[in-house]
Copies of this chain bind each other. A is one copy, B any other.
Amino acid sequence: MITVNALDRLISLFSKLPGIGKKSAGRIAYYILDNSPSLAQNLAKELSVLHQAIRRCSVCGGFTETDPCLVCSDLNRDRSIICVIESAQDMRIIEEGREFLGLYHVLGGLIAPLEGVSPANLSIDKLLNRLDGVKEIILALNPTVEGDTTALYLQKTMKNYPIEITRLASGMPVGGNLEYIDKLTLSRSFRGRVKI
Residues of A within 8 A of B (CB): 1-7, 9-10, 13-14, 16-20, 24, 26-28, 30-34, 37, 39-51, 53-54, 63-65, 69-71, 74, 87-89, 91-93, 95-96, 98
Contact = CB atoms under 8 A, between A and B. Distances in A.
* Copies of this chain in the oligomer: 2
A93 B11 CA distance: 13
A5 B65 contact: yes
A28 B41 CA distance: 18
A89 B17 contact: no
Given A3-B92, A19-B28, A63-B7, A33 B46 contact: no
Contacts of A28: 17-20
A89 to B, nearest CB: 4
Contacts of A27: 18-19, 89
A16 to B, nearest CB: 7
Contacts of A19: 24, 27-28
